[in-house]
């Protein structure tokens, strides 16, 4: 397989000032894409020590010779999602690639819901998790998808989780939200199929990021095979690159689950 060339393409990666989103954005930029960086606020990247700010991540992209800028929006709000898409189109001229990375098993006021089951979880945490993982994806797809439908071209990559494909004892609401994203991907792919817009989903396995390390105890894995270990960010970024590039031109409606 040849190395993807995304020169001339414009990507919007949501939640890209930190974590896996930052790695997705950098990988797309390394292969030629101009990338719009997004997060809910400019300081979000610093919360787990992953970057100085969203503005700093945009500078990383520009240091690679690509265009970039930081855009702030709360994607649980439809109006802000619409504004984000409009701003990126105004700044870059178009959106060729949308990576819906914003989300996470995040409580309303805590790093993770506590309790984090189906019965004792606080209702505010249920709402927070569903909004951050389902509504953010649906709103961004709605407005970027309208643009891609008009252009009759585009790639949408929704980010799910392996949690959405196995029974869960904790993070049950999060798991259900990510399962919803996979089926939404199938349905949106059918609506956009006549317009040459690919819609696929990546369900990453547990992956080392600042937030992951800050919210979990990680055991020694030196005696495990690479396919048994927690993934590195580059492992997931390479799959996003595949889904955003020409090698996936005849793939749509699918979820790649990284067990």
Q: How would residue 207 be classed by pLDDT, with cut points 50, 70 and 90?
A: confident
Contacts of 242 (CB under 8 A, 6+ apart): 4, 248
Q: pLDDT tens digit string along 45-74?
A: 777 677 789 999 999 999 999 999 999 999
H or E element that contains 203: strand 197-203
Cα angle, residue 166 at apex, residues 161 and 169 outer, rounded to 5°: 100
The closest alpha carbon to 16, from 72, 67, 87, belongs to 72
H or E element that contains 179: helix 172-192
Q: How would residue 15 be classed by pLDDT, with cut points 50, 70 and 90?
A: very high
Catalytic residue, chosen from 24, 139, 143, 174, is 174
Based on the residue annotation, tell me whether 24 is a catalytic residue of this protein. Answer: no
Task: Retrieve residue 61's tokens.
Answer: 């992209």
Q: pLDDT tens digit string along 227-253?
A: 888 888 999 999 999 999 999 999 999
Q: How would residue 213 be classed by pLDDT, with cut points 50, 70 and 90?
A: low
Cα 58 from chain centroid (whole Å): 16
pTM beyond 0.85, yes or no: yes
| Domains of the chain with bracketed CATH | 10-257 (3.40.50.720)
């Amino acid at each position: 397989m040849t190395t993807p060339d995304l020169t001339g393409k414009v990507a919007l990666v949501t939640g890209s000032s930190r974590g896996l989103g930052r790695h997705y954005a950098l990988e797309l930029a390394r292969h030629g894409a101009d990338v719009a960086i997004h997060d809910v606020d400019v300081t979000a990247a610093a919360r787990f020590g992953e970057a100085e700010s969203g503005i700093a991540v945009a500078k990383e992209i520009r240091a690679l010779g690509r265009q970039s800028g930081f855009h702030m929006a709360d994607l649980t709000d439809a109006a802000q999602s619409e504004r984000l898409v409009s701003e990126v189109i105004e700044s870059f001229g178009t959106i060729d690639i949308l990576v819906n990375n914003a989300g996470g098993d995040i409580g309303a006021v805590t790093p993770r819901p506590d309790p984090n089951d189906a019965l004792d979880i606080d209702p505010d945490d249920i709402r927070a998790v569903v909004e951050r993982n389902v509504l953010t994806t649906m709103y961004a797809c709605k407005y970027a998808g309208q643009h891609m439908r008009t252009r009759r071209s585009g790639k949408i990559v929704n980010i799910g989780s392996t949690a959405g494909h196995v029974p869960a004892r904790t993070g049950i609401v999060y798991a259900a939200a990510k399962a919803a994203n996979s089926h939404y991907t199938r349905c949106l792919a059918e609506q956009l199929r006549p317009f040459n817009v690919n819609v696929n989903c990546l369900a990453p396995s547990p992956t080392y990021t600042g937030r992951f390390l800050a919210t979990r105890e990680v055991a020694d894995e030196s005696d495990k095979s690479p396919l048994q270990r927690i993934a590195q960010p580059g492992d997931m970024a390479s799959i996003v690159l595949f889904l955003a590039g020409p090698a996936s031109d005849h793939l749509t409606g699918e979820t790649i689950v990284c067990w």
